[in-house]
Amino acid sequence: MNMYSKLKKLLPTLMLASAMAAAMLLAGTGALDTAMALTTADCRGCHTPPPPATNVTKHHELAAARGYDCGYCHKSIPDGTGGYTILDVNECGSCHSMVDHAAAHNNAQTAPDCAQCHSLSVVDEHLSRTSTCSTCHGSTKPEVHNTISIGMGPAGVPVNCNNCHINVNHVAQHEMVSTPADCSTCHNLGPVYEHTNRTSTCATCHGSTNPTVLQTITIGRSGTLVSCANCHGQVNHVLDHDKAMANADCAQCHNLGVVTEHTSRGSSCATCHNSTNATVKQTIAAGKGGTAVYCSNCHVSVNHIDQHNMVTTPADCKSCHGKQVVYEHTDRG
C-alpha cells in the first residue's frame, strides 16, 4: 500500500481529532458571548447609519442590560474604529464645557461610575431638553434656591422670570440671561426681595418711609407729603425708571437744599419774591423804606405755574427806563 492510500484511510480520523481538539479548547476558555462580541460585519447592530458610525443607538442600553458600568469599556483607549475616538471615562471636557456650570454640578468631573449622577443612559441624557426657566429655577431644591433665589415675593406672589427678563437668550443648558441695565446701580437688596411684581407709580419708591429714600426725595414741610407730579408734570419712567426730569433746570432759580425746595407751594409771586433771602432780594429788589413791591405792579400779564416758567414783560425795561433797576423798582408819587 502506497503512502497516498494510507493517508486517505487516516483522513476521517484526523478530521475527528481536530474537531475534538477544538471542542476542548472552547470548553477551556468559556463560551463566546455573541451579545457583546460583535464582528466588524455587525456594526449596524449598534451604529446607525454606517459610515460614519457616529450615532450610537443601542450601545449604552446593551451595556446597562449586561450590568457593565461605563469604566468597563471606556478606559485608556486612544483610538476607536473608523477614526473615531473612544473617550476615556474622565474626558468629560471633550463634550462638556468645564466652566460656568457650577449651579448644576459642584465640579466638572464625574465619578468613574456615571450612574452615580445619571439614572438614564448616556443616550437619553443627551437628548433635546426643555428650555423653560422653571425647569431649573422653579425647583424646590435648596441648592437651586441658594444659586438663583427666585422664590416667592414679600406678598406671596410667585415671580416669573419673564416679568423682568423680556428679551432672553437661553439654550439648554442656557447662556447667561441678562437685562440691558445693571440692576445693582439702583438696587442693593437681595434677589428674593428684588424679584417681585412692581407697580409703576412714583410713590412706590419715593413715598417710602425708608430713611434712605427720604434722604433722596424728601417729604414736604410740616409733614405734608409732596407728590412728584406737583413739580414733575411730564415724567419719563419705566420699571425701574429712568430719571424723572423737569423741563427746566431747577438750579437756575433755586439754590436751596432739596428738603426746603420740595415743599407745598402756592402759585403767587409773593411766595418766593417777598422772601427775606438775600439771593432773592438781589433778583427782585424790595421797595425803598422796606415797603414791599409786588410783581403785578409792573408785570400785569404774568405766566406762572408751580414751579413757574420765567415771568417776563413783552418789552425790554430799558426801552423806557434808563436808570438802575433797583431805583426804578421803588414806590413812586
pLDDT of 202 reads: 55
Comparing 198 with 133, the larger pLDDT belongs to: 133
- Grid coordinates representing 68 are 457593565
pLDDT of 317 reads: 46
pLDDT of 179 reads: 36
Distance from the Cα of residue 56 to its chain's centroid: 36
Q: Find out whether 34 and 43 touch, Cβ atoms under 8 Å.
A: no
pLDDT at 208 over 50: yes
The Cα–Cα gap between 176 and 168 comes to: 9
pLDDT of 11 reads: 61
The Cα–Cα gap between 329 and 291 comes to: 11
pLDDT-derived band at 68 (thresholds 50, 70, 90) equals: low
Comparing 297 with 190, the larger pLDDT belongs to: 297
pLDDT of 219 reads: 41
Average pLDDT in the 231-260 region? Answer: 42
Side chain identity at 132, as an amino acid letter? T
Which of 55-59, 255-259, 325-329 is predicted with the least confidence, judged by mean pLDDT?
Answer: 255-259
DSSP 14-40: HHHHHHHHHHHHHHHH----TTT---G
Residues 129-178: pLDDT tens digits? 444 555 555 556 554 444 444 334 344 444 455 554 554 444 433 433 44
Average pLDDT in the 74-97 region? Answer: 46
Average pLDDT in the 68-96 region? Answer: 47
Q: Find out whether 285 and 327 touch, Cβ atoms under 8 Å.
A: no
Task: Give strand pairing partners of 69.
Answer: none
Most confident option among 33-42, 248-257, 287-296: 287-296
pLDDT-derived band at 4 (thresholds 50, 70, 90) equals: low
245-to-213, 215, 252, 303 alpha-carbon distances in Å? 17, 18, 14, 21
Q: Find out whether 242 and 232 touch, Cβ atoms under 8 Å.
A: no
pTM as predicted: 0.16
pLDDT-derived band at 117 (thresholds 50, 70, 90) equals: very low
Percentage of residues of the chain with pLDDT beyond 70: 0
pLDDT of 1 reads: 52
Comparing 299 with 329, the larger pLDDT belongs to: 299
- Angle at the Cα of 192 from the Cα atoms of 191 and 195, rounded to 5 degrees: 75
pLDDT at 49 over 50: no
Comparing 42 with 71, the larger pLDDT belongs to: 71
| Closest to 239 measured CA to CA, from 198, 205, 178 | 198
pLDDT at 211 over 60: no
